[in-house]
A and B are shown apart, each in its own frame.
Chain A
Amino acid sequence: MAQNDSTTGGVMLAADGTPLKKSLDRALRAQKIRALALIAPLLLFILVSFVFPIGEMLLRSVQNTVGTDYIPDVLPNVVVELEEWDPASGEAPPEAVYRAMAIDFSAAFDNKLHTQLGRRFNYETPGMSSLFRKSGRPVTKLDPESGNLKEAFLEIDKDWGRIDYWATIKANSGRYTINYFLAAFDAERTLDGIKLKDPDERVYQKLLLRTLGLSLVITLCTLALGYPVAWLLADLPARTSNLLLILVLLPFWTSLLVRTSAWKILLQEQGVINDIWIWLGFEDRLSLINNQLGVIIAMTHILLPFMVLPLYSVMKTIPPSYLRAAKSLGATNTVAFLRVYFPQTTPGIGAGGLLVFILAVGYFITPELVGGADGTFISNRIYYQFSASGNWGLAAALGTVMLVVVLMLYYIYDKLVGVDNVKLG
């Protein structure tokens, strides 16, 4: 008698006798491969154009390089000889270091690296750029065998005897460095070790706090302006609310640059708003632009839709019967709103707030155009380090700090509110 039993030894078997788990896996594999094939082009695109470059940038924040070469590869002999020297001794390095420098410098000169090297050291100790530039050809003329190189260097420029210069070179003799991060946190290496800079020289801390602070203010402004709008939209019949929603989205159809420029025209000293202000009979023109106020006004406007949309989509799902129920139970309008309606909109507030805040923290164009001196964000400084100053390492370090700060805030937010509570649509 054939036994009609599909289990042997506790394992479920499919109709053809293979274990059920295995045939299920096989059936699902085709689906998985299909899914993978569908996302493959995008995945590849993101890897090539986004993940790699970002990873490379992040690496740059710790790599100790000039151009594409590591400093210890450009100054191999100097690095070895400096190991023996202690900057704390208060004396210039010995003859051997100068001889090594003569050899390495000539090689760097041949590879046209010596000016870059100077600029690189200059980030940390100003003055070294001009020293390296000036010394270019004279150093190549020196004879490494002469035995009196220290004097020869000092003859070319007496700055070659400065201990802090040599200390800088020694501090950069590794392949990796934390100096960029020190700079990003407004710290520096001194002869007495790592220290914070003088309070009035702490640029980046101030910038970071300002970026976070202004972003917070902007987020609160969008919430204050967006909440009632979203509520109204959610309350209206579908036809009207769709029309009004298009008006909310209208700004998206104009380029960011155009919108920011429009704010420039509106807010400037001789602009529309100030003209109306004067026409109303006031004496002094308001300074609404090239300061923090200008950034807050323009960015609140630009980021408003990102607050309204998540709020709207959450409010849309709250039936009006909740408010009615609250009122029938004896709650006044205010109590019904605060105790019943508002708590149910927190997922929307969370989503909108997170979205606006993170977008604001990374904003660049608007603070650049309307921010003036005290309204710039950290992204503007990063851009400056990339383009004008060429200090990619510091730019990368600042970018990394920004990334970590945002991730940390996200983590805190998750602990406080719970990301599951965030609803985007």
Chain B
Amino acid sequence: MTKSANDGAFVEFERVQKSYDGETLVVKDLNLTMPKGEFLTMLGPSGSGKTTCLMMLAGFETATHGEIRLDGVSINNIPPHKRGIGMVFQNYALFPHMTVAENLAFPLEVRKLGKSEREEKVKRALDMVQMGSFGGRRPAQLSGGQQQRIALARALVFEPELVLMDEPLGALDKQLREHMQFEITRIAHNLGITTVYVTHDQTEALTMSDRVAVFNDGRIQQLAPPDELYEAPQNSFVAQFIGENNTLNGVIQSISGDRCTVKLDSGDVIDAKPVNVSKVGDRTQVSIRPERVEINKDRLSKDAHTLKAEVLEFIYMGDIFRTRLRVAGTEDFVIKTRNAPDQVRLQPGQQIEIGWLAEDCRALDA
């Protein structure tokens, strides 16, 4: 039980590995540090090991290797019920044979709190999720969203410092989900709770979190605040996974500082910003967001490279226009333009020239 050197850290994963079958690693070398009060989201495709990480933190799975620390204390050998971590399960796991109030009182009872104190805390927790009048109901008599709130209230009622949520909004419809996203972040920030949130909905991750950890293949691919994740993806997995993205393949032709030119497989040359390429001749996949593509040549610098494009499809989406182009041999190059009064509406078959600012086009690993 040694206090870790890293004082700002509340939750720490250090070189954690996990294997269920002794043959494959589901979590490979996980390192993660969270300060107190942070809202961190684990985002990633199915099977990337998010739930496994959460379960190791909660104590329901043991790490095969490495150390997990909570507030500086190693918790590898502490059983789940002594960790004092609140948890919201995907199916809510409200006890069906107890009323809502009994569900909420459960963690207080096992902590041997007095009756009046219990009742007061239950009431406060119910009010917090705006379910004050539902204490006498059974979970089965509640709608999905209401059950969700109760599950949240139950995870918070014993005032844990850390709360884990595994896809808590997965079963809700879009509108309710957006509302609950707001509620959860509001409550988490008001109470100053440290939260680890799992989802594979990227919008949810981007809107709710202080930082997002993108998981793939048992590793954290990038850990960054939402805007950085979207605008400055560190590798092509993250670029592809977060938001819509155009990719082009080619070879680095020249590098100077934070500018490089890439010779595409079609023979065209474009400007880009080198992110994880190091030398001339490296293969690269460049990534550019649809809304950062410029179709008005006048707005680009004089010496910028441009590409010829043919309009294949124009889709009117209300607030934006979405146009599909044939560019440098690919037919799924998409650009998005804002529906402004002066915006041109492109016609299929039209020949145009496109370009971009070099820093918006990121040369990533191939």
Contact = CB atoms under 8 A, between A and B. Distances in A.
Contacts of A335: 110
Interface in A305-341: 319, 321-322, 324-333, 335-336, 339-340
B97 A325 contact: no
A328 B58 contact: yes
B81 A331 contact: yes
A330 B81 CA distance: 4
A324 B93 contact: yes
B158 interface: yes
Contacts of A41: none
A65 B97 CA distance: 56
A343 interface: yes
Contacts of B59: 327
A339 B95 CA distance: 10
Contacts of A343: 97
Max chain B Cβ within 10 angstroms of own Cβ: one of A321, A329, A335, A336: A329
Contacts of B158: 329-330
B282 to A, nearest CB: 47
Contacts, number: 63
A332 B112 CA distance: 13
Nearest to B82: A330
A321 B166 CA distance: 12
Contact of B91 (A321, A332, A340): A321
26 contacts: A319-B91, A319-B93, A321-B93, A322-B93, A322-B95, A324-B89, A324-B93, A325-B93, A325-B95, A326-B106, A327-B60, A327-B79, A327-B80, A327-B81, A328-B80, A328-B83, A328-B87, A328-B155, A329-B107, A329-B158, A330-B81, A330-B84, A330-B107, A340-B95, A343-B97, A344-B95
B86 interface: yes
Contacts of B45: none
Interface in B71-103: 79-87, 89-91, 93, 95-97
Contacts of B324: none
Interface of A: 319, 321-322, 324-333, 335-336, 339-340, 343-344
B219 interface: no
Contacts of A321: 89-91, 93
B113 to A, nearest CB: 11
3 closest Cβ contacts across the A-B interface? A329-B107, A325-B93, A328-B87
B235 to A, nearest CB: 34
Given A321-B93, A340-B95, A328 B81 contact: yes
A347 to B, nearest CB: 10
B174 interface: no
A418 to B, nearest CB: 13
B100 to A, nearest CB: 14
A247 B91 CA distance: 33
A4 B45 CA distance: 56
A327 to B, nearest CB: 4
A314 B107 CA distance: 25
A321 B58 CA distance: 12
B50 interface: no
A330 B83 CA distance: 8
B196 to A, nearest CB: 13
A329 B154 contact: yes
Given A319-B91, A324-B80, A329 B97 contact: no
Max chain B Cβ within 10 angstroms of own Cβ: one of A328, A333, A336: A328
A242 to B, nearest CB: 21
Contacts of B87: 324-325, 328
Contacts of B82: 330
B77 to A, nearest CB: 15
Contacts of B93: 319, 321-322, 324-325
B89 to A, nearest CB: 5
B111 interface: yes
A67 B261 CA distance: 114
Contacts of B90: 321
Nearest to A319: B91
A325 B154 CA distance: 10
Given A331-B110, A339-B106, A344 B97 contact: yes
Nearest to A340: B95
A332 B81 contact: yes
A344 B81 CA distance: 21
Contacts of A339: 106
Contacts of B85: 328
Given A330-B81, A336-B81, 5 more contacts: A324-B60, A326-B106, A329-B110, A329-B155, A339-B106
A325 B89 contact: yes
Nearest to B96: A344
Max chain A Cβ within 10 angstroms of own Cβ: one of B83, B85, B95: B95
B70 to A, nearest CB: 14
Interface string B150-161: 000011001000
B97 A330 contact: no
Nearest to A328: B87
